Structure 1
Amino acid sequence: MRDRVTFSLQFLFTLLVAAFLAVPAGLSIAAGVTVNYFRGIQSGVTLQWVVQVWELYADTIVASILIALGTLAVTLVVGVPAAYALFVRGGRLARLAEEIITLPLAIPGLAIALALLLTYGGFGSFRRSWLFILAGHVIFTMPFMVRSVMAVFATIDVRSLDEGAASVGASPWRRFVDVIIPNAAPGILAGSLMVVTLSLGEFNLTWMLHTPLTKTLPVGLADSYASMRLEVASAYTLIFFVMIIPLLMAMQWIGEKGSSR
Structure 2
Amino acid sequence: MRELLEAVADGSLSPAQAEAELNGYVTGDAGRFDAARDQRRGVPEAIFAEGKSADQIVALAETALETTDRALLTRISPPQFEALESYVDETIPDATIERRETTVRVMAPDYEPPSIDAAVGIATGGTVDGPVAAEAEAVCLDAGVTIDRVDDIGVAALSRTLDQLERLRDADVLIVAAGREGALPTVVAGLVDTPVIGVPISSGYGYAGDGEGALAGMLQSCTVLSVVNIDAGFVAGAQAVLIARTIAAARD
TM-score range, shorter chain: under 0.3
Instruction: Pick 1 or 2: higher relative contact order, CA cutoff 8 A, min separation 6.
Output: 1
- The structure with the largest alpha-carbon Rg is 1
Tell me the TM-score normalised to structure 1 length. 0.23
Higher relative helix content: 1
Considering fraction of residues, name the structure with more strand.
2
* TM-score normalised to structure 2 length: 0.24
